[in-house]
Amino acid sequence: MEETAAVRPQAAAVRSTSELRKRLWRNRWIYVMLLPGILYFLIFKYIPMFGLVISFQDYKPFKGITGSEWVGFAHFERLFTHPDFWKILSNTLILFGLNLLFYFPVPIVLALMLNEVRSAFFKRLFQTLVYLPHFMSWVIIVSISYVMLTMDGGIINELLVKLGFSKINFLLSPEWFRPTYILQVIWREAGWGTIIYLAAIASIDPGLYEAARMDGAGRLRQIWHITLPAIRSVIIVLLILKIGDVLELGFEHVYLLLNSMNRSVAEIIDTYVYTTGLRQMQFSYSAAVGFFKSAVGLVLVMLANRLAKKFGEEGIY
Amino acid sequence: MVEDRSFAGRLFSMVNFALLALVALVTVLPFIHVVAGSFTTNAELAAKKFILIPTVWSLDAYRFIFSTSTLFRAMTVSIGTTLVGTLLSMLLTSLMAYGLSRRDLDGRRVIMFLVVFTMLFNGGMIPTFLVVKELGLIDTYAALILPSAIAAFNLIILKNFFQNIPDGLEESAKIDGCSDFGILFRIVLPLSMPAIATISLFYAVTYWNTYMSAILYLNKSEMWPIQVLLRQIVVLASGMDYSSSLDSEVPPPEQSVKMAVIVVATLPILLVYPFLQKHFAKGAMLGSIKG
Bridge partners of A70, per DSSP, are A57
pLDDT at A199 over 90: no
Domain assignment present for residue A189? The answer is: yes
Domain assignment present for residue B282? The answer is: yes
Phi-psi region at A216: left, alpha or beta (left = phi > 0; alpha = psi -120 to 50): left
Task: List the domain range (segments joined by +) for residue B86.
Answer: 65-290
Q: Kindly write down the DSSP assignment for every residue of A64-121, as one continuous string.
A: HHHHSPB-TTHHHHHHHH-TTHHHHHHHHHHHHHHIIIIITHHHHHHHHHHHT---HH
Domain assignment present for residue A218? The answer is: yes
- Between residues 169 and 228 of chain B, which touch chain A (CB distance below 8 Å)? 179-181, 184, 205, 208-209, 211-212, 215-216, 227-228
Q: Are residues A146 and A286 in the same domain?
A: yes
Q: Are residues B43 and B72 in the same domain?
A: no
CA A128 to chain centre: 23
C-alpha–C-alpha distance, residues A85 and A77, integer Å: 11
Q: Are residues A211 and A95 in the same domain?
A: yes
pLDDT at B5 over 70: no
Q: Are residues B151 and B232 in the same domain?
A: yes
C-alpha–C-alpha distance, residues B152 and A35, integer Å: 15
Whether the CB-CB separation of A301 and A285 falls below 8 Å is answered with: no
Q: Are residues B124 and B253 in the same domain?
A: yes
Best interface-test mutation with B: which of A33, A188, A292 has the largest number of B CBs within 10 A? A33
Q: What is the pLDDT of residue B10?
A: 85
Option in A29, A40, A51 nearest B92 (CB):
A40
pLDDT at B251 over 70: no
B286: number of Cβ within 10 Å = 17
| DSSP annotation of A167 | P
- Rounded to an integer, the average pLDDT of A135-151 is 92
Domain assignment present for residue B1? The answer is: no
Say which CATH number the domain at A245 has. 1.10.3720.10
- Rounded to an integer, the average pLDDT of B31-46 is 83
pLDDT at B53 over 60: yes
Q: What is the pLDDT of residue B60?
A: 86
Contacts of residues A209-218 at CB distance under 8 Å and 24 or more positions apart, as own/partner, are A209/B2, A210/B2, A213/B2, A213/B4, A218/B6, A218/B8, A218/B9, A218/B12
B275: number of Cβ within 10 Å = 12
Q: What is the pLDDT of residue B84?
A: 97
Q: Are residues B103 and B152 in the same domain?
A: yes
Q: Are residues A44 and A103 in the same domain?
A: no
Q: Are residues B197 and B166 in the same domain?
A: yes
How confident is residue B279, by pLDDT bands cut at 50, 70 and 90? low
The residue from B58, B83, B101 where one domain ends is B58
Distance from CA of B209 to the nearest CA of A (A): 5
| Burial label, A94 (beta-carbon count in 10 A; 0-12, 13-18, 19+) | middle
Q: Are residues A17 and A166 in the same domain?
A: no
Q: How many angstroms separate the first and last alpha carbons of chain A?
A: 44
Closest CA to B131 of A49, A70, A34, A280: A49
Spell out which residues of chain A touch residue B17, defining contact as CB-CB under 8 Å: 117, 122
Residue of chain B nearest A153, judged by CA positions: B46
pLDDT in tens, A1-25: 455 555 566 666 556 788 888 888 8
Q: Are residues A130 and A35 in the same domain?
A: no
pLDDT in tens, A244-269: 776 666 788 999 999 888 899 999 99
C-alpha–C-alpha distance, residues B31 and B27, integer Å: 8
Domain assignment present for residue B2? The answer is: no
Distance from CA of A130 to the nearest CA of B (A): 5
Number of domains chain B is built from: 2
Distance from CA of A7 to the nearest CA of B (A): 26
Whether the CB-CB separation of B126 and A16 falls below 8 Å is answered with: no
pLDDT at A142 over 90: yes
Best interface-test mutation with A: which of B120, B183, B199, B238 has the largest number of A CBs within 10 A? B120
Task: List the domain range (segments joined by +) for residue A44.
Answer: 2-56
Domain assignment present for residue A196? The answer is: yes
Contact criterion met (CB < 8 Å) for A33 and B4: no
pLDDT in tens, A18-67: 888 888 888 899 999 999 999 999 999 999 999 999 999 998 888 888 88
Q: Are residues A50 and A120 in the same domain?
A: no
Domain assignment present for residue A199? The answer is: yes
Phi-psi region at A290: left, alpha or beta (left = phi > 0; alpha = psi -120 to 50): alpha
pLDDT at B1 over 50: no
| DSSP annotation of A57 | B
Best interface-test mutation with B: which of A155, A172, A201, A282 has the largest number of B CBs within 10 A? A155
Q: Are residues A204 and A89 in the same domain?
A: yes
Domain assignment present for residue A271? The answer is: yes
Domain assignment present for residue B76? The answer is: yes
Number of domains chain A is built from: 2
pLDDT at B245 over 70: no
Domain assignment present for residue B115? The answer is: yes
pLDDT at B287 over 60: no
C-alpha–C-alpha distance, residues A163 and B96, integer Å: 58
Residue of chain B nearest A125, judged by CA positions: B24
What are the helix (H) ranges across chain A?
2-26, 28-41, 47-51, 64-67, 74-81, 85-98, 105-115, 120-130, 138-149, 155-162, 174-202, 206-214, 219-222, 228-230, 232-257, 263-266, 269-274, 283-310
Q: Are residues A99 and A152 in the same domain?
A: yes
Q: Are residues A35 and A153 in the same domain?
A: no
Q: What is the pLDDT of residue A152?
A: 80
Q: Are residues B212 and B242 in the same domain?
A: yes
Domain assignment present for residue A61? The answer is: no
Q: Are residues B33 and B167 in the same domain?
A: no
Q: Are residues B34 and B81 in the same domain?
A: no
Domain assignment present for residue A67? The answer is: no
pLDDT at B248 over 80: no
Spell out which residues of chain A touch residue B102, defining contact as CB-CB under 8 Å: 27, 30
Q: Are residues B278 and B169 in the same domain?
A: yes
- Rounded to an integer, the average pLDDT of A79-87 is 92
pLDDT in tens, B56-89: 788 888 988 898 889 999 999 999 999 999 999 9
Whether the CB-CB separation of B127 and A56 falls below 8 Å is answered with: no
Contact criterion met (CB < 8 Å) for B96 and A155: no
Domain assignment present for residue A63? The answer is: no
Say which CATH number the domain at B84 has. 1.10.3720.10
Question: Which residues touch A269 (CB under 8 Å, ≥6 apart)?
Answer: A88, A89, A92, A247, A289, A290, A292, A293
For residue A223, the number of C-alpha atoms closer than 13 Å in the C-beta half-sphere is 13
Q: What is the pLDDT of residue B8?
A: 79
- Rounded to an integer, the average pLDDT of B102-107 is 88
pLDDT higher for A204 or A291?
A291
Option in B21, B92, B261 nearest A36 (CB):
B92
Q: What is the pLDDT of residue B243?
A: 41
Q: Are residues A39 and A173 in the same domain?
A: no
Q: Are residues A30 and A159 in the same domain?
A: no
Q: What is the pLDDT of residue B149?
A: 95
Q: Are residues B31 and B106 in the same domain?
A: no
Q: Are residues B21 and B99 in the same domain?
A: no
ipTM at complex level:
0.87
Q: Are residues A91 and A202 in the same domain?
A: yes
Q: CB distance from B149 to chain A under 8 Å?
A: yes
Q: What is the pLDDT of residue B96?
A: 96
Q: Are residues B39 and B175 in the same domain?
A: no
